[in-house]
Amino acid sequence: MTRHSRIRTGWAAGAAALALALVTGCEGLEADGDAPASGGGAQAPAAGHAVSPLDNPDGTEPGLAPVTGDSPQAAARKLIDGLPTKGRGPKTGYDRDEFGYAWMDTADGVPLARNGCDTRNDLLKRDGQEVRFKSGSDCVVIAMTLDDPYTGTSIEWRKQKASEVQIDHVVPLSYSWQMGSSRWPENKREQLANDPLNLLPVEGRANSAKRDSGPASWLPPDKAVRCAYAVRFAQVAAKYELAVTEADRAMMAKQCQG
């Protein structure tokens, strides 16, 4: 499938319901029910082309551009090789609420916090192109085009079909819990859950397939961005001083071997 192919809308109701479900570490874009896609919101400027994670260390730029070339891939491997490893612990006690309520704007210490717009809409504005807002709002996104980094397809998203695009936690929250965030203070978990470095709008079906997997168990279907995905996973782990499993680190490094 090419990057410019279109994802068909109008899925069967059962598939849409499945994609709407919140899976561990991955969350859907629920419809608020107050903004028809034909609303008169002003059109926002395009977010621009996807940016390499190596050039986007704080996650405020859009997308996930491929990491190619000997020097960038060497830098990627150095980052990945520096991650500590340990075994994945139990999920005992994990609950999404341990990371604060979904898409809170008050997770201090991360970019875009307290800007008057919830995390979900911040991310749609960051990565979407031809973004349209709810009438009278410069926050609530009701329509956009998304170049999905995981599948290499282009999605014409409308809020009525909210589940077609979901927000992925690159390092899933459940994964982080098993790797040590269960012992963090709540404000640090809230940061991880709302940090744009750890968040990507992606195709809902790909997000649902990922669940709380690490890179050894799941990688983006589009092979061109697998090194970039590994870099982003490593950036988040390094920022939050999280270990990864030995198998995950090995798989991440493999994606950046050229």
Q: What is the pLDDT of residue 19?
A: 39
> Exposure of 136 by Cβ count < 10 A (0-12 exposed, 13-18 middle, 19+ buried)?
exposed
The pLDDT tens digits for 197-214 are 999 999 999 999 999 999
Average pLDDT over residues 147-160: 96
Average pLDDT over residues 210-230: 98
The pLDDT tens digits for 121-146 are 999 999 999 999 999 999 999 999 99
Average pLDDT over residues 180-186: 97
The pLDDT tens digits for 4-61 are 444 333 333 344 333 333 333 445 444 343 433 333 333 333 334 799 999 999 999 9
Q: 109, 88, 92, 90: which is closest to 188 by C-alpha?
A: 109
Average pLDDT over residues 169-198: 98
Which residue do the tokens 């260390």 mark? 57
Token pair listed for 21? 């479900």
Q: Are the C-beta atoms of residues 212 and 27 closer than 8 Å to each other? A: no
**Lowest mean pLDDT segment, chosen from 2-11, 65-74, 172-181, 198-207:** 2-11
Q: 199, 166, 119, 230: which is closest to 7 by C-alpha?
A: 166
Q: What is the DSSP letter of 244?
A: B
SS (H, E, C) 42-89: CECCCCCCCCCHHHCCCCCCCCCCCCCCHHHHHHHHHHHHCCCECCCC
- Cβ–Cβ contacts within 10 Å for residue 138, how many? 13
Percent of the chain exceeding pLDDT 70 equals 81
Q: What single-letter amino acid sits at 50?
A: A
Higher pLDDT, 5 or 175: 175
Higher pLDDT, 31 or 171: 171
Q: What is the pLDDT of residue 258?
A: 76
Give 73's pLDDT tier (boundaries 50, 70, 90): very high
What ranges do the domains of the chain cover? Answer: 28-255
Q: Are the C-beta atoms of residues 241 and 183 closer than 8 Å to each other? A: no
Give 120's pLDDT tier (boundaries 50, 70, 90): very high
Q: What is the DSSP string of 116-137?
A: SS-HHHHHHHHH-EEEEE-TT-
Rg of the chain (C-alpha set): 17
Which residue do the tokens 């996973």 mark? 233
The pLDDT tens digits for 79-104 are 999 999 999 999 999 999 999 999 99
Dist. CA 2–CA 152, nearest whole Å: 6
